[in-house]
Amino acid sequence: MRNTIASFIFVLVSFSLSAQKYDLAQTPPMGWNSWNRFACDINEQLIRETADAMVATGMRDAGYLYINIDDCWHGERDSLGFIHPDAERFPSGMKSLADYVHSKGLKLGIYSDAGTYTCGGKPGSRGHEYQDALTYASWGIDYLKYDWCNTGGMAAEAAYMTMRDALFSAGRPIVLSICEWGTNKPWLWGGETGHLWRTTGDIHNCWDCEMGYGTWGKYGVLNILDKQNGLRKYAGPGHWNDPDMLEVGNGLTLTEDRAHFSLWCMLAAPLISGNDLRNMPKEVLEILTNGEVIALDQDPLGIQCFKYLDEGDFEIYVKPLADNQVALCFLNRGEKVVDVNFDWKQNYIIDGQTGNSYDFAKENYKIRNLWLHKDIGTTATVLKSTLPPHDVLLIRLIR
């Protein structure tokens, strides 16, 4: 009888934890992270000003919710092993900062590492997972990015499950962002562990580049895009492939920023901006807050796009949407202008994963250009356009 009761309690607890997990991130998380622009140069004032800017610029109203502090916020652990923030950088403490962020209608995220030290050399969570989870919950933290530096000899799936269980036991809903760079194929196990998982090494603010640093690398927009091939079947509501944070506004050209943002939305990727929200050009803000493009990313079906056509520097990506609508992204990867002449009636599109199909010879769709914010005809006639280098044509088809 005792074993039966214990088993019943275990089932109830497991169901409760699973339900708690899947109540979060039903669409890809949207927010901001400090790393891409500021790295370790962070403090309380920056976070407060960024929260203010998130509201003032209209980004909060566009759907951006999380203000995420990355590496280097840490102070030391006390005699009992509990972590404290750097008192010089965060003099008011994390609870006060979380209260301020929450008062803006936003949520606060934080960073740690599964190893003994973070990538920036600060105290990691190894051996302190339950202490750290309790601490984060007491501060009012809503999101944890959990990195993979200094983890020699550790098993990734087990390490992330330990932190998952610690967060659950702390009793506060916290999004868990798995950041082990795709090394251990987290798409195979991440859906039962976290809410999103990095699929590659770090992004870099370039269009097409790859930089090696011994055991790790940084990649441009196109390089990361190509690494998403074959992963779409693992993503969906509550569990997302993460091709890393956005570099929009961090040095790419305006066309590259637009293409980068379009592709991440087609990928149903988390939209975590990484620029300085306090000082961004109007053109960058317009990209980050384009509601018609964001709607692709936040579509309730949560289906990641697939590559329909590959002609070298010219590619077409297709993303099924709710209400039998569909988005297409025409991408010019190269250095020369591409003339688009797309005959809808000659293209019967089938999504082999979902079974969605689009027979343009039998059905007519209205074409909506999502960057021009206007209708540009229907699929009854050939789509003609000129596509500049490093740019996209992003459209939504509406029946």
- Express each pLDDT in 33-69 by its tens digit: 999 999 999 999 999 999 999 999 999 999 999 999 9
pLDDT value of residue 222: 98
Tokens of 385: 């356009």
pLDDT classification of 347: cutoffs 50, 70, 90:
very high
pLDDT at 220: 98
Burial of 40 (0-12, 13-18, 19+ CB in 10 A): middle
Instruction: List the domains of the chain with CATH numbers.
Output: 17-297 (3.20.20.70), 306-398 (2.60.40.1180)
Q: Between 369 and 212, whose confidence is greater?
A: 369
Task: List phi, psi (to 5°) of 293.
Answer: -75, -45
Residues 203-214 as b/e (b if ≥16 CB within 10 A, e otherwise) read bbbbbeeeeeee
Q: What pLDDT sits at residue 21? A: 53
80-139 pLDDT per residue, tens? 999 999 999 999 999 999 999 999 999 999 999 999 999 999 999 999 999 999 999 999
Check pLDDT > 90 for residue 290.
yes
Run of H or E including 338: strand 338-342
Average pLDDT of the residues of the chain: 94
* Other Cβ atoms within 10 Å of 84 Cβ, number: 15
Catalytic residue among 71, 147, 244, 351: 147
DSSP 8-state secondary structure symbol assigned to residue 252: S
Q: How is residue 386 written in tokens?
A: 């000129």
Is residue 391 annotated as part of the catalytic site, yes or no?
Answer: no
Higher pLDDT, 23 or 282: 282
Question: What pLDDT score does 37 carry?
Answer: 98
Could you tell me how many residues make up the chain? 399
CB atoms within 10 A of CB 7: 10
Q: Give per-residue pLDDT as tens, 174-223.
A: 999 999 999 999 999 999 999 999 999 999 999 999 988 877 789 999 99
Task: Give the pLDDT band (50/70/90) at residue 10.
Answer: very low
Q: What is the pLDDT of residue 308?
A: 98
Share in percent of the chain as helix, strand, coil (round to 5)? 30, 25, 40
* Residue 157: predicted pLDDT: 98
Active site residue 276: no
**Secondary structure letter of residue 4 according to DSSP:** H
Kindly tell me if the per-residue pLDDT of 373 is higher than 90. Answer: yes
Q: Which two tokens stand for residue 85?
A: 């923030």
Which DSSP string corresponds to 80-130? TS-EEE-TTT-TT-HHHHHHHHHHTT-EEEEEEESSSB-TTSSB--TT-HH
Give the pLDDT of residue 81. 98
The DSSP 8-state label assigned to residue 188 in this structure reads G
Minimal CA–CA distance to 261: which of 296, 228, 230?
296
Closest by CA position to 100, among listed 59, 42, 140, 136: 140
pLDDT of residue 217: 82
Quick one: average pLDDT of 137-156? 97
- pTM of the predicted model as reported, rounded to 2 decimal places: 0.94
pLDDT (0 to 100) of residue 5: 40
Q: What is the pLDDT of residue 18?
A: 46
Query: Which of 70, 202, 276, 391 does the annotation list as catalytic?
Result: 202
Residue 187 in contact with residue 199, Cβ under 8 Å? yes
